[in-house]
């Protein structure tokens, strides 16, 4: 009798040591991904306004964030290209993360050592390097997360990543407090040192096994990558939605427009009203982020309870009200911290609520066979449209003043609400994000 081993049908379990270490690593990497985004946008815009840079210029600075929108274009390079020397030391994923972290540190230092009051060239170069390095870090961190854990653990890894991201928001708020008690140079310098320290920790993080197995694969042509990553998934969306493609794409494009355009001028408003960096840092960095989490839970719960489209409608209305509250704040002649807390807290709660419902809608619109790539198409669509228009926020604020500006940007939520109602009442199941076999979303 021969002893023939039967192949196991159960998925291989990771060693306990590897399992335990991957989650703290994911927390740190989530933190590293969030910090550049916060420092290049809200904190930098506060500094620019503080030294007298006009609001139109501050708005145009927001365009460096388009790096995060177009990151899928150089993702194939990050996915396949081996970095000399670093690849042998760290492997494919960690080498790109290390290079991106060094890039973010350089960008932070350039911004910190610049003098926006005298000229913006060095500040802009630093912001550009910081944004593109941060976007590259996102690409490599996402790949590390996907390859480091089986599907059954991806939800936990994603939740850990988001928690790290929230900690980065808080730490960026601390950066404002540091700048208030010392200088912007010290604040950005500390942020750069933190990113370099995380780069050092990469030597203690495991390279994913799947990344090691794929290091000999060649770099695909740009045309093949573009067709695989964008063209085919896009055509599949059009075939699935049919005549409802344009209304759905319109809703995806404008649903977050109010938040994006309003947010660019929020920090300049705080500076002009006379709030100190410590007050803004404490409220926006230490208190408000928890309201984003709370709003996310409420938004997710309401989506399950009332249905996806109703939750989107509530989110559009809440956006109009909470973004309009900034107009009320702009009317006040004194910098009262309690007013800032009420307005920023409400806005963060709404952002968490809307984000949960909107992400659920984008996810439901995708074909399960092409979920990742189609989600990237949808997210790039709304991010590009909203960020491009947000670049003109300063021009609009200069032309009509803060109060009217925030009223106008709040009103951007009204067309979104109308589109939600139309799709909810007349749209196809696919347009309403109803997958085959799922319960109706009336």
Mention every residue, 6+ apart, whose C-beta is less than 8 A from residue 39.
Answer: 108, 111, 130, 172, 175, 188, 191
Q: What is the pLDDT of residue 440?
A: 43
Burial of 368 (0-12, 13-18, 19+ CB in 10 A): exposed
Return d(Cα 328, Cα 346) in angstroms, integer.
Answer: 13
Q: What is the pLDDT of residue 316?
A: 93
Q: What is the pLDDT of residue 315?
A: 92
Q: What is the largest CA-CA distance in the chain?
A: 91
Q: What is the pLDDT of residue 8?
A: 45
- Contact status, residue 166 vs residue 285, Cβ threshold 8 Å: no
Return d(Cα 276, Cα 177) in angstroms, integer.
Answer: 9
CA atoms within 13 A on the CB side of 70: 11
Mention every residue, 6+ apart, whose C-beta is less than 8 A from residue 164.
Answer: 26, 27, 28, 29, 30, 31, 32, 33, 34
Q: Which of 181-185, 222-226, 406-410 has the highest mean pLDDT?
A: 406-410
- Mean pLDDT over each residue of the chain, to the nearest integer: 82
- CA-only gyration radius of the chain, Å: 23
- Contact status, residue 99 vs residue 202, Cβ threshold 8 Å: no
Burial of 60 (0-12, 13-18, 19+ CB in 10 A): middle
Mention every residue, 6+ apart, whose C-beta is less than 8 A from residue 429.
Answer: 440
Return d(Cα 351, Cα 341) in angstroms, integer.
Answer: 15
Return d(Cα 92, Cα 87) in angstroms, integer.
Answer: 6
Return d(Cα 429, Cα 441) in angstroms, integer.
Answer: 8
- Sign (positive/negative) of CA torsion 368, 370, 374, 375? positive
Q: Residues 287-345: pLDDT tens digits? A: 888 888 888 888 888 888 888 889 899 999 999 999 999 999 999 877 899 999 999 99
- Domains defined along the chain, listed by start: 14-218 (1.20.1250.20), 220-435 (1.20.1250.20)
- Contact status, residue 280 vs residue 340, Cβ threshold 8 Å: yes
Q: Residues 115-150: pLDDT tens digits? A: 998 989 999 999 999 999 988 888 888 778 777 766
Return d(Cα 21, Cα 160) in angstroms, integer.
Answer: 12
The backbone torsions φ and ψ at residue 332, rounded to the nearest 5 degrees and listed phi first, read: -75, 140
Q: What is the pLDDT of residue 435?
A: 58
Burial of 310 (0-12, 13-18, 19+ CB in 10 A): middle
Return d(Cα 307, Cα 305) in angstroms, integer.
Answer: 6
- Contact status, residue 107 vs residue 126, Cβ threshold 8 Å: yes
Burial of 243 (0-12, 13-18, 19+ CB in 10 A): exposed
Q: Which of 32-46, 314-328, 375-389, 428-442 has the lowest mean pLDDT?
A: 428-442
Asked whether the predicted pLDDT for residue 360 surpasses 90, the reply is: no
Q: What's the Cα-to-Cα distance from 432 to each of 309, 362, 427, rounded to whole Å?
A: 7, 10, 6
Mention every residue, 6+ apart, whose C-beta is less than 8 A from residue 350.
Answer: 295, 315, 318, 319, 321, 322, 323
Return d(Cα 115, Cα 122) in angstroms, integer.
Answer: 8
């Amino acid at each position: 009798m021969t002893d023939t081993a039967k192949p196991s049908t159960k998925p291989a379990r990771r060693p306990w040591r590897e399992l335990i270490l991957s989650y703290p690593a994911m927390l740190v990497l989530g933190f590293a991904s969030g910090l550049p985004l916060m420092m290049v946008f809200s904190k930098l815009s506060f500094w620019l306004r503080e030294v007298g840079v006009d609001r139109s210029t501050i708005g145009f600075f927001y365009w460096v964030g388009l790096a995060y929108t177009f990151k899928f274009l150089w993702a194939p390079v990050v996915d396949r290209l081996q970095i000399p020397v670093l690849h042998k030391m760290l492997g494919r994923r960690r080498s790109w993360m290390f290079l991106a972290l060094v890039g973010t540190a350089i960008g932070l230092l350039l911004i910190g050592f610049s003098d926006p009051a005298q000229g913006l060239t060095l500040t802009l170069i630093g912001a550009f390097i910081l944004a593109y390095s941060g976007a590259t870090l996102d690409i490599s961190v996402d790949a590390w997360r996907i390859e480091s854990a089986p599907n059954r653990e991806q939800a936990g890894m994603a939740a850990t990543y988001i928690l790290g991201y929230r900690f980065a928001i808080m730490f960026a708020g601390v950066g404002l407090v540091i700048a208030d008690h010392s200088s912007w140079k010290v604040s950005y310098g500390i942020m750069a040192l933190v990113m370099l320290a995380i780069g050092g920790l990469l030597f203690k993080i495991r390279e994913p096994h799947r990344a090691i197995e794929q290091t000999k694969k060649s770099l695909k042509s740009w045309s093949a990558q573009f067709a695989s990553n964008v063209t085919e998934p896009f055509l599949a969306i059009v075939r699935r939605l049919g005549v409802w493609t344009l209304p759905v794409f319109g809703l995806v494009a404008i649903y977050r427009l109010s938040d994006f355009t309003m947010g660019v001028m929020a920090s300049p408003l705080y500076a002009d009203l006379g709030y100190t960096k410590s007050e803004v840092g404490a409220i926006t960095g230490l208190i408000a982020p928890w309201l984003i989490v709370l709003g996310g839970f409420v938004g997710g719960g309401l989506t399950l309870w009332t249905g996806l489209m109703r939750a989107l409608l509530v989110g559009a209305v809440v956006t109009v009200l909470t973004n309009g509250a900034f107009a009320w704040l702009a009317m006040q002649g004194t910098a009262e911290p309690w007013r800032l807390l009420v307005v920023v807290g409400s806005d963060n709660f709404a952002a968490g609520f809307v984000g949960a419902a909107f992400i659920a809608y984008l996810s439901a619109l995708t074909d399960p066979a092409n979920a990742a790539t189609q989600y990237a198409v949808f997210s790039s669509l709304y991010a590009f449209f909203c960020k491009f228009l947000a670049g003109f926020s300063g021009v609009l604020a200069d032309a009509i003043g803060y109060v009217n500006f925030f009223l106008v940007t709040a009103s951007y939520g009204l067309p979104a609400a109308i589109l939600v109602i139309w799709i909810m009442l007349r749209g196809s199941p696919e347009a309403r994000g109803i997958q085959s076999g799922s319960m109706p979303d009336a």
